[in-house]
Amino acid sequence: MRAAGRLWARRAATAAALALLAGCSGGGGGDGRAGGDAAPPVSRAQLALRPGDGAQDVPVDAPVRVEAAGGRLLTVRLADDRGAPVPGTLSADRTAWTADHRLATATAYTLDAVAEDAGGLRAVQHAGFTTVAPEHTFVGFFTPEDGSTVGVGMPVSLRFSHPIADRAAVERAVAVVSDPPLEIAPHWFGDQRLDFRPREYWPSGTRVTLLLRLKDVEGAPGYLGTQDKDVHFTVGRSLVAAVDLDAHTMTVRRDGRVLRTLPVSGGGPEHSTYLGTMVVSERFEVTRMNSRTVGLGDEYDIKDVPHALRLTASGTFVHGNYWTDPAVFGAANTSHGCIGLPDAKGGSDDSPAGWLYRHTAVGDVVEVRGSRGERVAPDNGLSDWNLDWARWRAGGAVH
């Protein structure tokens, strides 16, 4: 029913039915109108809704209010375009109602109110309106992807498109839950990255859900989030590769059982390989490696590096190597910091590097130890596991 109308269908229908019965009875007299011209009673209750029907670009902090004059409110319902109700507060004398929460941006709302006068006659009014789109927004780019299956070392990582000033507000709007349930804690790396992980590697078979409730959260002055999304992923089998740089070996274990020990060559004396726990973040059957991209000048430019597994954002890979003397694998560390395994030009599935590539997924773990080299920074790639649990939990904004 539109806002201008306050006629009640039930009363009008009853009156029409009585008139019809009178006209069909064949009874005598009268002018044949049988009282049909009599106007039905109108409620004395007057409703005022704000914002009004058809309003556009309504500010999200604009008050939403319903007032009744000459009567009292019976019901008020404010709902968004998905039908979700917005709670409100009714005054003690039932003549006013006010929404309890600010509105969402770029959202259509409906507002419906029913009032009753002293004689029991009801009035209804409807308003539909839309809110303004935010001028400045931010989003969180998430890893891993929705629906993926990952290794046991995969943290949940969010990178925000704008620096976050109110980390606590953003952190409260994000949750990571698992089945079976685990204690999962957040940690901030600067003002644009928020990661989540459990105390230890995920158990195989764990189902994990990232709940993003960032829509209209003010992450920085004037910047509102836009996401209301659930992301699901599954943890697959456990695969952990332990690299011993001193012994020049990689021991690969799946679900705790040794699958194979492979010969490797790590970083040489001038470019030692990072120590610590790293996680595979990307896989490339073939990729180009140029020393200029990692600040090493013109030392190398190899356009067809086979079977490459990225470990750090700074450029550490496990990869196949066909250009080095095969005798160094298992015997010496000669690389510029990567971990090399024997391979053939173009990549051979039967090589140690090809075998490792086939068995490795994003999220699998590479643990590197040795007598020399720097420990990898926890924010270099997905190296979150290099912080102990106490320091990890201390990096959250909400305690």
Q: What is the CATH number of the domain that holds 373?
A: 2.40.440.10
How many whole angstroms separate alpha carbon 178 and alpha carbon 210? 9
How many CB atoms sit inside 10 A of residue 314's CB?
A: 14
Task: Please list, in sequence order, all residues whose beta carbon lies within 8 angstroms of the beta carbon of residue 256, skipping any fewer than 6 positions away.
Answer: 238
179, two tokens = 């089945």
Residue 36 is predicted with a pLDDT of 52
CA distance 366 to 250: 9
> What is the reported pLDDT for 198?
98
| Rounded (5°) CA angle 32-38-41 | 155
3 is a domain residue: no
User: Looking at residue 216, what is its pLDDT?
Assistant: 92
Catalytic residue among 187, 338, 359, 399: 338
Residue 298: predicted pLDDT: 67
Q: Token pair 């004689």 is at which residue?
A: 119
Q: Note the pLDDT of residue 89.
A: 97
Distances (CA, A) of 8 to 41, 121, 255, 268: 9, 8, 71, 88
Residues 114 and 154 in one domain: no
Q: In the chain, how many domains are there?
A: 3
- DSSP state letter for 82: T
Residues 95 and 146 in one domain: no
Residues 162 and 74 in one domain: no
Final residue before a domain boundary, out of 236, 258, 286: 236
319 labelled catalytic: yes
Do 184 and 252 lie in one domain? The reply is no
What is the sign, positive or negative, of the torsion defined by CA atoms of 67, 69, 73, 76? negative
Domain holding 267, by residue range, is: 239-386
Supply the pLDDT for residue 299.
Answer: 66
d(CA 176, CA 382): 17
Beta bridge partner(s), residue 138:
225
Residue 116, number of CB atoms within 10 A of its CB = 18
What's the confidence (pLDDT) of residue 7? 33
- 224 and 266 together in one domain: no
Buried residues in 271-297 as b, exposed as e (16+ CB within 10 A): bbbbbbbbbbbeebeebebeeeebeee
Instruction: Evaluate whether residue 362 is within a structural domain.
Output: yes
- pTM (two decimals): 0.77
Identify the sign of the CA torsion 174, 148, 362, 321.
Answer: negative
For the chain, helix, strand, coil in percent to 5 are 10, 40, 50
Identity of residue 261: T
Q: Which of 187, 248, 307, 319 is catalytic?
A: 319
Q: What are phi and psi of 386, to 5 degrees?
A: -85, 0
CA-CA distances (angstroms) from residue 288 to 86, 103, 192, 262, 308?
Answer: 54, 50, 28, 24, 10
Q: Which segments of the chain have a pLDDT < 50?
A: 1-35
CATH number at residue 157: 2.60.40.3710
Among 217, 236, 255, where does a domain finish?
236
Q: Domain end: 187, 203, 236, which one?
A: 236
Domain match, 337 and 227 both: no
Q: Are residues 89 and 228 in the same domain?
A: no
Q: What is the pLDDT of residue 186?
A: 98
DSSP letter at 39 equals P
User: Is residue 136 annotated as part of the catalytic site, yes or no?
Assistant: no
Cβ within 8 Å of residue 270, ≥6 positions away: none
What CATH number did the domain enclosing 60 receive? 2.60.40.3780
CB 72 within 8 A of CB 96: no
